[in-house]
Amino acid sequence: DAGITQSPRHKVTETGTPVTLRCHQTENHRYMYWYRQDPGHGLRLIHYSYGVKDTDKGEVSDGYSVSRSKTEDFLLTLESATSSQTSVYFCAISGQEFYNEQFFGPGTRLTVL
């Protein structure tokens, strides 16, 4: 299995508070992604990174920001959490090319009250 961990695995927070989710990999992969999974929508890309300090938006990026200061870590921040951001968040990694196989972390279940 690819070495990907996510923290925290579960979080409950209140509307308006900032939240940061962490993805950590031990594979030295270039690409890292954040997806969210919601009933009726499947998995959708939030943001992705193609290298240290190189990030870009996905299809559902509003309300989220990301940072990647090291190859192994990719952080997802909800600046001011809303109930619509209640979801399961998955981090994924892939190799040196964008079309390489992607491997997913275990997910973080976030509830915004």
Partner 1 sequence: GIQVEQSPPDLILQEGANSTLRCNFSDSVNNLQWFHQNPWGQLINLFYIPSGTKQNGRLSATTVATERYSLLYISSSQTTDSGVYFCAVVGGTSYGKLTFGQGTILTVHP
DSSP characters for 39-97? Answer: TTTEEEEEEEEEETTEEEE-TT-TTEEEEEEETTEEEEEESS--GGG-EEEEEEEE-SS
Closest separation in Å from C-beta 43 to partner 1: 5
Residues of the shown chain interacting with partner 1 in the complex, contacts defined by CB under 8 A: 31, 33, 35, 42-45, 48, 50, 56, 58-59, 88, 90, 92, 94, 98-104, 106-107, 109
User: 63 or 107: whose CB is closer to partner 1?
Assistant: 107
Tokens, residue 113: 């009250």
Task: Output 14 or 54, the one with its CB closest to partner 1.
Answer: 54
- Token pair in block for residue 70: 């090291």
Minimum distance, C-beta of residue 75 to partner 1, in the bound complex (Å)? 19
